[in-house]
Amino acid sequence: MWLASNRERRRPPFVFDIWSLGSRRVQSNTFLADLWSQRLRPRPSWLVAALVRAGEWLPRLAMERAPLSIHGPSNALDRSPQQCPSPGPFSDRERRSLLEHGFDVDKPFAALVVRDPAYYTARGEQEGSDTSLLNGDLLDFIPACRYLAGVGVQVVRLGGPSQQRLPQIPGCFDYANSVIRSAELDVKLPMSCRFAISTQTGPDALVLLARRPVLYLNMLRFSQFLFGTELATWAPMRFVNKSDHRSAGLGDIGRSRLFAAKNPSEFADSHFDFVRASADEVAVYVADFLDELENGVDPQVITVRKEVNHLLQQHMAPWAQERFGDIRAKVSRRWLLDNESWWLASK
């Protein structure tokens, strides 16, 4: 009794979350914001902004800001169900509009996301030579689109209007340049696809949000795509030394300053050229990705992938575990088998 009556009682700290989705005028997609409002019950943006300012004036009142990211150790895509409410089925009007463009949402389809200068063009700005390193060329994805359409998987190109246009391919729809774009379809299409092919920009985050797999091709920044989810499969660009034209292996990249670099200017100013996969190679990687989704992968590939992720975390130490946690993304099977002999030669 004495022990029980004198035992120190500690109450857990009282913690509550305050969410804000920003003011209506700055929300990139009001339909998506409304979906999150059903789940998060956000507070008015003016109130949250006032609380943040109060913390800046009086540090003792400062609130901790959650580091929400698909890259960090707090990532829970593989450990939790979908958090954002479903956008719901396509309306009859949406179905009719899509069918008029030869696209049937009741049949399997893949989302295509190719980063290009459209964002800067829409703002009347010129994209810099450094950030253009992150772009892709839509032409490099045309053979892959033809392949997917040929095996019964439609393709819908997502994103904003672009000067690069998808050619007329039966089963492929250039939604990005269509007249039927809407806030609702901008969310429903990526969250309803079977999988996505992406150069990492905007809409692919919605695909992951809906727990759909994504194949990331021609990736430049290691510090940006070491995802904490098995939903992501990736293939890097080749880092080619400008002086001797030798392709850098994983070990070479890991020991360079570019391994942790995020600013594209650091790559532009480096002694490397960056070589993207060709259109034919992209088609092969996409076909292999689809085959793996349908038929799985053999133990040998799983073992090599684990070795790659182990090496990545070794090279990133000591900041790897803190920033990324355990790396769960997978290297493209075909890219890995085609390039393993030289990419892993220098560990």
Tell me what pLDDT residue 72 has: 62
Does the residue 229 lie in any domain? yes
Do 57 and 104 lie in one domain? The reply is no
**What is the number of other CB atoms lying within 10 angstroms of the CB of residue 46?**
10
Q: How does pLDDT run across 294-332, given as a tens digit for each residue? A: 999 999 999 999 988 888 888 776 766 676 677 888 999
Span 80-84, average pLDDT: 87
For residue 165, tell me if it sits in a domain.
yes
- Asked whether residue 172 falls in the same domain as residue 296, the answer is yes
Write the DSSP string, 168-217. --TTEE-GGG-TT--HHHHHHHHHHSSEEEESS-TTHHHHHHTT--EEEE
Going by C-beta distance under 8 Å and a sequence separation of 6 or more, which residues neighbour residue 261?
A: 221, 223, 267
Give me 333's structure tokens: 């099977």
Q: Looking at the domain assignment, is residue 46 inside a domain?
A: yes
Same domain, 306 and 197: yes
Let me know if residue 101 belongs to a domain: yes
Which of 115, 158, 148, 180 has its CA nearest to residue 290?
A: 148
Predicted confidence band of residue 5 (pLDDT cuts 50, 70, 90): very low
Residue 153 sits in the same domain as residue 277: yes
Checking if the pLDDT of 41 tops 50, the result is yes
Domains held by the chain: number: 2
Residues 325, 228 share a domain: yes
In this prediction, residue 6 has a pLDDT band, given cuts at 50, 70 and 90, of very low
Residues 301, 199: one domain? yes
Could you tell me whether strands 214-219 and 195-198 are parallel, antiparallel, or unpaired per DSSP bridges? parallel
Q: Is 9 a domain residue?
A: no
Domain that holds residue 36: 19-65
Does one domain contain both 41 and 161? Answer: no
Does residue 267 share a domain with residue 174?
yes
Q: What is the mean pLDDT of residues 153-165?
A: 93
Q: Are residues 60 and 106 in the same domain?
A: no
Kindly state whether residue 105 falls inside one of the protein's structural domains: yes
Among 48, 65, 82, identify where a domain stops. 65
Q: What percent of the chain has pLDDT over 70?
A: 87
pLDDT at 274 over 70: yes
What CATH number corresponds to the domain at position 278?
A: 3.40.50
Q: Kindly tell me if the per-residue pLDDT of 178 is higher than 80.
A: yes
Least confident of 73-77, 94-98, 252-256: 73-77
Residues 245 and 115 in one domain: yes
pTM value is: 0.90
The pLDDT value recorded for residue 122 is: 65
Is the distance from CB of 332 to CB of 288 less than 8 angstroms? yes
Looking at the fold, whether 131 and 170 belong to one and the same domain comes out as yes
- Backbone dihedral angles phi then psi of residue 98, each to the nearest 5 degrees: -70, -40
Residue 122 forms part of a structural domain: yes
- Residue 37 inside a domain? The answer is yes
Other C-beta atoms within 10 Å of 218: how many? 26
Q: Tens digits of per-residue pLDDT, 184-228?
A: 999 999 999 999 999 988 899 999 999 999 999 999 988 776 677
Together in a domain, 138 and 44: no
